[in-house]
Amino acid sequence: MFRTPAAVVTCIAVASPASALWGRDGHAIVAEIAWRELSPETQAAITELLADAEHGTTIQETASWADAVRPQDAYRWSAPLHYVNMAPDAAEYDHARDCPDQGCVVSAIQRFRDEVRDTSLPIEQRREALMFLVHFVGDLHQPLHGGRAEDRGGNDIEITFYGRETNLHRIWDFSILEAHDGSPWPVKAERLYASISDHDRIAWLADFHDEDMLATSGRWAFESHALAEDYAYGLVEHGAALSADYVTATIDVAEVRLMQGGVRLTAVLETAFPADNADNETDSDSE
């Protein structure tokens, strides 16, 4: 379920933790990895769908759109769709138990994948569905987006990170990767993409079933939950002061989840545009 890449760095050159992990930069990294993996047919379909998008014309540019619109009255309904909560002792994801009536990130991935896929829908609805889908697959791979309800996924656990008061969720959203690597997100994406092996791709997609996206997303959500229990909650107490030692202990988890998110987003997006790929295959067969 989880591959640890090369050895954990033992010396951290710390930059000011201002950029994002699963914030703007992290979502862009997931989208960039996915884009590199996509078939030309799906890339073309995505480019066409986003051609007139107000907030950007690539999945990298629009990957954080769902966060930007979340506070707006017209999109407040989407707030619960960014995460799913599970009990600390949960042994697996249980959809009936863990996903409330208003939805969660697991149900959102199925919903918006299906909306992108439905060419009878208005193009604007499909465009927004695509932007939600890219974002939510990224969110699903942030461990604390599968955290505990009682502390709102670590938001209520106050800590100090490199002397700055913050909370546990925010350092997973914003600070760990920046403390390890202060380079711009395209440089991070290039480094992470180069480290993904064919073995990784096979392992990370072994439980992927495009006709049962709910179950597939549920399994990925439970991975995040288990990692949150072991690395986010398990290594931190309320009021803790964290710095390089915590980064050393968690950076591999954070980076692998970004890589997994990118590879898996590719698989989800390929199933969202089956007609485009099928048309291409038909054309190829007729030549």
Q: Would you say residue 207 lies in a domain?
A: yes
Contact in structure between 65 and 56 (CB atoms under 8 Å): yes
Query: Which band of pLDDT confidence, cut at 50, 70 and 90, is reported for residue 64?
Result: very high
Give the model's confidence band at 52: pLDDT under 50 very low, under 70 low, under 90 confident, else very high.
confident
Mean pLDDT of 178-186: 90
pLDDT-based confidence at 22, cuts 50/70/90? low
C-alpha 269/C-alpha 145 separation (Å) is 21
Whether 164 has a pLDDT exceeding 90, the answer reads yes
Nearest C-alpha neighbor of 144 from the set 210, 209, 218, 82: 82
Residue 5 belongs to some domain of the structure: no
Residue 7 located in a structural domain? no
Residue 36 within any structural domain of the chain: yes
Q: How many domains does the chain have?
A: 1
State the average pLDDT over residues 86-93: 97
pLDDT confidence bin for 276, thresholds 50/70/90: low
Q: Is residue 252 one of the residues assigned to a domain?
A: yes
Cα 27 to Cα 32, 173, 186, 233, distances in angstroms: 9, 10, 11, 23
Mean pLDDT of 52-78: 94
- Whats the size of the chain, residue-wise? 287
pLDDT tens per residue, range 126-162: 999 999 999 999 999 999 999 999 999 999 999 999 9
Q: Which residues carry out catalysis?
A: 22, 27, 67, 70, 82, 135, 139, 145, 169, 173
* pTM: predicted TM-score of the whole model, two decimal places: 0.88
Pairing type for strands 241-242 and 164-167 reads: unpaired
Q: Per-residue confidence at 277, pLDDT binned at 50, 70, 90?
A: low
Instruction: Please report the pLDDT score of residue 287 as a whole number.
Output: 40
Q: Let me know if residue 17 belongs to a domain.
A: no
Residue 15 counted as domain residue: no
Domain presence at residue 92: yes
CATH number of residue 280's parent domain:
1.10.575.10
Q: What range does the domain containing 248 cover?
A: 24-286
Handedness of CA 232, 131, 204, 271 (dihedral sign): positive
